[in-house]
Amino acid sequence: MAWLCAALVLVIASLSAFIRLSRAGQGCEPWPQCQGVVAAEAAQPGLGDSVAMARMGHRVVASTTLLLVLAMAGLALASGTTLRAEARLALVLLGLALFLAVLGRWSGQSRLPAVTLGNLLGGFAMFAVSVRLALVAGRTGAAGQRPVSAPWLGVATVLAWVQVALGGLVSAGQAGLSCPALGACDWRAGSWQALDPWVMPAIDVLPTRSEGALVHMLHRWSGMALTLVLLVLAWQAWRLGRRAVAAWLVVLPVLLVALGLVQVWLRLPLPLVLAHNAAAALLLAVLMGMGLRRPRHAAPW
């Protein structure tokens, strides 16, 4: 049931990103001059239909997920008198689901970066907790093999959440092409105001604006730091016999870096941006599952 919840949450996060980016004019024609809601709607009349369908799908899947979370929380609480790990995680899921429901109802179609961050971080947290709940519920036998180094895992987890938050600010602030070169750019031309999630970006701002260079480069720098830490974790996981985890910790950061560079090179095509978003969610889920002690006879997760 938890795996189904995780799959549904990933669908919700992808639909939410599609709706937000499409409304902002991502991928409209002629790009990027059409950036902005008014210009995007004028340049791409069929966009409204796809967004409307995505919204309908988002509501249906979100409602189904909420019912599923309620069922999991009820079953977990009814299974024993003590608040076991499964029950605690199910309650966390319920809290996140209610938070996202209230945020969606209250914010509506707000373009405020704080709302984008709330939806992004809340959705990713819900996905990661769902995966952890599925792993906890699926454990059998005594915990025999110790997890990877807690300090390194903690650093990687913090860096991953910082990276997601910076990515959300880059997207919400329309700073995706502020550093079009694959190398460095003049980050000093950027504005610290781009890091303030309570500042509403102008509706007709272009993604090539220099004001977003600082937050864009911070996203790149934190990504490089995170990649190095993940490689250390991959080496530790390999030594502990957790070969699948080690593979994920190498493949996912490489994929994220490649998607990030290619999407800037190709000027932010919407499918690549959505793939980048999904890969980041998968990385957070892997990190959430790494702290669990693995039974001796379990598969090499």
- pLDDT tens per residue across span 55-98: 899 999 999 999 999 998 888 777 764 457 788 888 999 999 99
pLDDT over threshold 60, residue 219 = yes
pLDDT over threshold 50, residue 159 = yes
CA distances from 141 to 129, 240, 243, 294 (A): 22, 18, 20, 9
Say how far apart CA 61 and CA 5 lie, in whole Å: 10
Please state the pTM of the whole predicted model: 0.86
- pLDDT tens per residue across span 89-100: 889 999 999 999
Name 37's Cβ contacts closer than 8 Å, sequence gap at least 6: 23, 24, 25, 203
List the domain boundaries for the chain: 2-295
Say how far apart CA 210 and CA 174 lie, in whole Å: 11
Helix (H, G, I), strand (E, B) or coil at 143: strand
Torsion (CA) 192, 278, 271, 106 in degrees, nearest 10: -60
Residue 251 near residue 217 (C-beta atoms within 8 A): no
pLDDT more than 70, % of the chain? 80
Q: What is the pLDDT of residue 63?
A: 92
